[in-house]
Amino acid sequence: MSQQTRAIEEVLRLCTSIHVDAQELFYKPDDRQVVTRSRALEHKAWDVYALLRDRLHELPPTVVVACRRLAYFVVNYRDTHLIADEKRDEAGETPLLVVESDKCLREIEEEYRRSVRSAVVEELIFTFPDGILPPDVTEVVNLTYTEALIDFSNGCYMSSIALCGKIIETVLTALYTKVTGGDADAEKLGGDAIANRLKKAGYAFKGTIREQMEIVKAHRNKAVHGSIIIPTVDEARGVLSLARDVLQKASSK
């Protein structure tokens, strides 16, 4: 876990605590200690300021802005919004304190997910080396894999998985031309047919590379061809990892 992710996780825990306390401030009708509870919230808001001071250079600007906005709101809450929120609660409306803390949490949670995805991308970075496939094919493979990583980091899991499928197809087609001299596109060969012909021509698939290709292909088909199931972050990460492994094995001597 990166320092940035840890820092976001710390402020996320503290702001979550504020949000929970904000809901309990009015949602427990038998508790009359609203002022006392609001003072406790103020202490946590000052804790947010302190945490921002210590972790300022490790946090994304959006997280800093969201936390400062919430801390300022809470610190000034008793003087500016407490009485109005009591009336809003009596009218069955959501108190502004709950609205503000929820908004802050959503922004921090999104940055936390983005930070986690970025850490995954750093682990999966790979460049297909020159000299294995033709230069133009190598360029396409690296460009496609880079775009798959970018899509993953932005939470675009369907497109990331689809691009992983393209990587497998590109590598298989290039290997077919290299080993047999044939043109898979002109011969209208699918992935399975290419793999079978490569095997017959004496090409040795390293380790479990063929099985990994099949898994990537299955996920790619599910993501592209009309499935109503939305890929998860774990599925996309797994497919990317498999695609990276295929590239590593295909490029190894």
> What would the pLDDT profile of 89-98 be if each residue is shown by its tens digit?
888 899 999 9
Give the count of domains, the chain: 2
pLDDT > 80? residue 1: no
Separation CA 38–CA 35 (nearest Å): 5
Q: Is residue 120 part of a domain?
A: no
200's CB contacts (< 8 A; 6+ apart) are: none
Segment 15-44 shows an average pLDDT of 81
Confidence of residue 176 (pLDDT cuts 50, 70, 90): confident
Residues 143 and 243 in one domain: yes
- The pLDDT assigned to 189 comes to 81
In a domain, 70, yes or no: yes
Single residue among 95, 114, 133 that ends a domain in this structure: 114
- The answer to whether the predicted template modeling score (pTM) of the entire model surpasses 0.85 is no
The pLDDT tens digits for 195-228 are 888 888 888 888 888 899 999 999 998 888 877 7
Cα dist. 252→123, 188, 196, 202 in Å? 19, 28, 21, 17
Residues 134, 109 share a domain: no
Residues 63 and 19 in one domain: yes
The share of the chain scoring above pLDDT 70, in percent, equals 97
Tell me which of 173 and 183 has the higher pLDDT. 173
Assigned domain for 119 exists: no
Q: Indicate the residue among 69, 84, 114 that finishes a domain.
A: 114
Q: Which domain holds residue 84?
A: 3-114
Query: What mean pLDDT is reported for the chain?
Result: 89
Query: Do 71 and 144 belong to one domain?
Result: no
- 155/241 same-domain check: yes
187 is a domain residue:
yes
Domain boundary among 63, 81, 114: 114
